[in-house]
Amino acid sequence: MGEKKATRAAYGEALVELAEKYPRMVVLDADLTQATMTKFFAAKYPERFFNCGIAEANMTGIAAGLSTCGLIPFVNSFAIFSAGRAFEQVRNSVAYPHLNVKIVGSHGGPSVGEDGATHQMNEDIALMRSLPGMTVVVPCDGNEMKQAVEAMLNYEGPCYLRMCRYATEGVTDLMPDYRFELGKSVTLREGTDATVIACGIMVPMALKAAECLAAEGVHVRVIDMHTVKPLDEAAVLKAAKETGCIVTVEEASIVGGLGGAVAEYVSEHYPVPVLRHGVPDEFGRSGTAAAVLDFFGLNPEGIAAKVREAIRLK
Name which position in 46, 65, 271, 280 contacts another protein (CB under 8 A): 65
For residue 59, the minimal CB distance to another protein (Å) is 8
Instruction: Say if residues 251 and 202 touch (Cβ distance below 8 Å).
Output: yes
Query: Pairing state of beta strands 102-106 and 72-78?
Result: parallel
Catalytic residues: 56
What CA dihedral angle connects 247, 251, 255 and 257, to 10 degrees? -80
Q: How far is the CB of 255 from another protein (least distance, A)?
A: 25
Residue 232 near residue 185 (C-beta atoms within 8 A): yes
Which of 62, 131, 213, 240 touches another protein by CB under 8 A? 62
- Binders of another protein among residues 2 to 21 (CB under 8 A) are none
Q: In terms of C-beta density within 10 A (0-12 exposed, 13-18 middle, 19 or more buried), how is residue 270 classed?
A: middle
For the chain, first and last CA: distance in Å?
31
Applying CB under 8 A, does 66 fall inside the site for another protein? yes
The residue among 128 and 197 lying less far from another protein, judged by its C-beta, is 128
Site for another protein in 188-217 (CB under 8 A): none
In the region spanning residues 36 to 55, those forming contacts with another protein, defined by CB under 8 A, are 47-48, 50, 52-53, 55
* List 58, 130, 286, 299, residue binding another protein (CB under 8 A): 58
Task: Decide if residue 68 touches another protein (CB under 8 A).
Answer: yes
Binder among 33, 38, 60, 100 for another protein (CB under 8 A) = 60
Please identify, using beta-carbon distances, which residue of 49 and 265 lies nearer to another protein: 49
According to the 3-state scheme, what is the secondary structure of 226-254? CEEECCCHHHHHHHHHHHCCEEEEEEEEC
List Cα–Cα distances, 285 to 14, 107, 168, 251, 292, in angstroms: 31, 14, 20, 14, 7
Chain contacts with another protein (rule: CB under 8 A): 26, 47-48, 50, 52-53, 55, 57-71, 73, 88-89, 92-93, 96-98
